[in-house]
Structure 1
Amino acid sequence: MAEVVSPITRQITKGELDSQDPPVDIRLQKVEDCLVYDRRGVPLPFKKLYQDRKAVIVFVRSFLCYSCKEYVDDLAKIPKEALEDAYIRLVVIGQSAYHHIEPFCKLTSYPYEIYVDPERCIFQNLGMKREEKFTQSANPSPHVKSGVFVGQMKTIWRAMTSPKFDFQGDLYQQGGAIIAGPGSQVHFSHFDMNRLDHMPINWLLQLAGVQQTLDFSNKPKILHI
């Protein structure tokens, strides 16, 4: 029988699971009625995303951002069966206009739920960080493969070639991730300190109850025979 993981309701960093950071007070009641919008512009109260089952909810800073794009590239690789077996939802929330959702999903091959919070109601009321802070505890995301210079060039090129030239979100706003539900219970939270401070996907999945560990590396696989 698998070991039961106790709910985690404090901020932690990737470099140290036993971080001494103070607890993060997450109150979903402040944001449960904030509206998010699907790819057709249909509004939905935020609470609908986690009321009936546990949900892993990832907030991204901008659909143009190369690090967000590469992180969602890896979210797209999560097998549907892994989520179904653990009875959890995977949700991505951006902060652009809704018409940017469809092109972003095509670019990343992301097949799961995705919404936008164009007024940043949830980002702001949950206290997600604005501006970037780089510290030793904020380790670079294992899911971002591009270097900073190349990544920024990709971001600029996508902005220039976008049908509607805008930054698809506030570039100063940072994202994060929470595991919530069913109901208003928050099991875990992580607020990004900068564009590279993503929570490793395997950690999120295991904390949410997914049993299998996935390989997101681009390294060639070695077969032992």
Structure 2
Amino acid sequence: MAETVSPVTRQVTKENQNTWTPSVDIRLEDVEDCLIYDRHGVSIPFKKLYQDRKSVVIFVRSFLCYSCKEYVDDLSKIPRETLEDANIRLVVIGQSSHLHIESFCSLTRYPYEMYVDPERNIYQKLGMRREEIFTESAHPSPHVKSGMFTGQVKSILRAMASPVFDFQGDLHQQGGAIIAGPGSQVHFTHFDTNRLDHMPINWLLQLAGVQQTLDFSDKPKIIHV
């Protein structure tokens, strides 16, 4: 009988995609029964997301955060057939009230699953960072197009226009990304150190088994005839 080998959880450093460093060990068993809520306020246990197939789960800081908004803008550009061909589930989890899911999906045109963890139980139990760390060597997220000042102004304007005025999450809480499933296997984790420290989407997809590279740039496409 073959020996069962536990999956290795690893984190990619942004300086070099081929440089692998050990990530924080996480146990999905610690959070599998934590409840998350859909846009209607209906709860399901977290484990439902990855029990049956491999899932890419993105945790965002706040639905008001400009960098999270622009990151999810790019997640929305992933073709459905790309996920279906690789048999991957894509999920975004926020930490606000479920009342904000509908408007955030509409704003970002995000068509896939989105839930919230309003008490931040999963964030805290998995050990996601609170507060931000910025370093001079950090690479800016390729998915954030706005500068910090412009982005924060956009966030404030969105907050003022929201019918439910609140911060839509703890602004000190950072997010992250996990590739998990089927079952309790953890294939990869990345915990953000600050609002710009998102895992590049193409890297995430390739680690999850997608073969193609997607173009997330806003540059106009040139068609040669």
- Tell me the TM-score normalised to structure 2 length: 0.94
Matches within 5 A, 1:18-167: 18-19=18-19, 21-167=21-167
1:137 deviates by: 4.7
- Mapped partners of 2:23, 2:177: distance in 1: 15
SS state of the match for residue 81, structure 1?
A: helix
Residue in 2 aligned with 1:215? 215
Displacement of 1:164 after TM fit? 1.2
Q: Which amino acid in 2 is paired with 1:146? A: S
> Which sections of structure 1, spanning at least 5 residues, go unmatched?
1-6
Contact in 2 for aligned 1:60/1:176 (Cα 8 Å):
yes
Deviations 1:171-225 (A, max 9, x none): 0000000000000000000000100000000000111011111100011223345
Q: Is the 8 A contact 2:11 2:20 kept in 1?
A: no
CA RMSD of aligned residues (A): 1.3
CA 1:8–1:85: 2 relative to 1, 3 Å? farther
CA deviation vs aligned residue, 1:9-29 (integer Å, no higher than 9, x gap): 122222223546443201100
Given that 2:9 and 2:22 are in contact with CA atoms closer than 8 Å, whether structure 1 keeps it comes out as no
Secondary structure (helix, strand or coil) at the match of 1:140 reads coil
Paired residues of 1:138 and 1:193 also in contact (CA < 8 A) = no
- Compared with structure 1, are the counterparts of its residues 137 and 12 closer, same or farther at alpha carbon in structure 2 (3 Å cutoff)? farther
Q: CA deviation at 1:161?
A: 1.1
Overall identity of the aligned pairs, in %: 77
Q: Which runs of 5 or more residues in structure 2 are unaligned?
A: 1-6
**Residues 9, 187 of structure 1: 8 Å contact kept:** yes
TM-score between the two structures when normalised by the length of structure 1: 0.94
Counting matched residue pairs gives 219
For residues 140 and 169 of structure 2, the distance between their equivalents in structure 1, rounded to whole angstroms, comes to 22
